[in-house]
């Protein structure tokens, strides 16, 4: 354990950032692919269930939250907030490119 910068040696340091839990790896990997992989994003838009199965999302709860892009539910399931934001943005850009013409 590292000593706390403003405390006594042995004080526990509380992290200000909570890393995504390991059980949410498939969800975060799927969000990353939605953000970064044009072909996967196109498959997701055409057939969301098939794309989520391809990404390894087997449980119903993450699939429902991802299909609805419910930020609160995704966060509660361990999704990284940046990946949720960027996946949502990229999907909205694909669905209505004219909205983001000058983005």
Q: Report pLDDT digits (tens) over 47-81.
A: 999 999 999 998 788 999 999 999 999 999 999 99
pTM of the predicted protein model: 0.79
Q: Specify whether the CB–CB gap between 62 and 84 falls below 8 A.
A: no
CA distance 37 to 20: 21
CA distance 30 to 79: 10
């Amino acid at each position: 354990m590292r000593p706390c910068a403003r405390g006594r040696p042995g004080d526990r340091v509380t992290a200000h950032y909570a890393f995504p839990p390991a059980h949410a790896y498939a969800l975060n990997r799927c969000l990353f692919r939605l953000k970064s992989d044009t072909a996967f994003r196109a498959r997701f838009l055409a057939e969301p269930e098939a794309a989520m199965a391809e990404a390894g999302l087997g449980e119903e709860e993450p699939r429902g939250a991802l299909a609805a892009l419910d930020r609160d539910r995704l966060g509660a399931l361990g999704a990284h907030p940046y990946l949720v934001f960027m996946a949502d943005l990229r999907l909205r850009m694909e669905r209505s490119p004219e909205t983001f013409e000058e983005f």
